[in-house]
Amino acid sequence: MSEQRLQGKRVLVTQAADYMGPATIELFAEHGAEVIADESDLTQAGAAQEIVDAAGHIDVLVANLAADARFGIMTIDTDDDVWHTAFDVMVHPLHRLCRAVLPQMYAPLRQDRGLRQRYRCKIDPW
């Protein structure tokens, strides 16, 4: 049993069954976090907000977003459909998730300390 340093923290993991989702869920749970594992289609309008609303309070957002790998396709052979699909699956949902969850993360900082802390949304392809 590892140190329970995340006891009482709520973590939302998207695309929970894919890519790094299972390992991420296991690690956060191992450290005591309550994990909300979501597998919704985040390409749908309003899906990110619905997930956050249903989850309630979220301390940590793990935007585990990935599209099918297209290794070996040269840029000159990447058509607009492939390009747009990658953005629809990874980039647009990231923005929507951050936009949905950040207000609740900022609220305690504004109320308790009057401070403005920077929260970052990071895209990590690996």
Confidence tier at 126 by pLDDT (50, 70, 90): very low
Residue 39's identity, in one-letter code, is E
**CATH superfamily, region 10-113:** NAD(P)-binding Rossmann-like Domain (3.40.50.720)
Buried b (16+ CB within 10 A) or exposed e, 37-64: bbeeebeeeebbeebbeebeebebbbbb
Name the token pair of 13.
Answer: 């993991």
CA distance 96 to 46: 8
Give SS3 for 6: coil
Tens digits of residue pLDDT in 63-101: 999 877 766 788 888 889 888 888 899 999 999 999 999
Structural domain boundaries in the chain: 10-113
What is the distance, to the nearest Å, from the Cα of residue 49 to the centroid of all Cα atoms in its chain? 12
pTM of the predicted model, to two decimals? 0.80
Name the token pair of 65.
Answer: 């977003």
Tens digits of residue pLDDT in 11-60: 999 999 998 999 999 999 999 999 999 999 999 989 999 999 999 999 99
Give SS3 for 84: helix
